[in-house]
Amino acid sequence: MNLRQFSWITTYPLRTILVYDLAILDVDLDDNRVEFLITDHEEMWSFGDMIEALPLVGWAYNLFRRSFAFGFLGASALSYGVLSFLKRPVAVETRLRNKDFEEY
């Protein structure tokens, strides 16, 4: 994206995804020429990039993103630890002892 024409105002770079829908109008095999018509155009900007580029808000946003990532990773590790603790195999002696009580 060429932003030099707006250099007199504050600009910042964004990741932009452009999507075009095309229709083939004419194919000339003799001249190796194909004519296209753009039927739809869509621009997608990253909202996170826009927030991150703001002067003071960007710093807080990056801090929140990193903290949330570490918190989510810690919660995932904790839940895996609890799940593996709950699914640990029961000792053979405990099973035999419970079987003896069931007979009486």
Local confidence pLDDT in tens for the 104 residues of the chain:
565 666 666 666 677 888 899 888 877 777 778 888 889 988 888 888 888 878 788 889 889 999 999 999 999 999 988 888 877 765 555 555 555 555 54
Could you give the C-alpha distances from 43 to 2, 10, 24, 32, 96, in angstroms and in order?
15, 21, 22, 31, 67
CA dihedral 98→101→102→104, nearest 10 degrees, is 170
Q: What is the pLDDT of residue 94?
A: 57
Q: What is the pLDDT of residue 18?
A: 87
Instruction: Give the distance, in angstroms, between the CA of residue 13 and the centroid of all CA atoms in the same chain.
Output: 20
Q: What is the pLDDT of residue 44?
A: 82
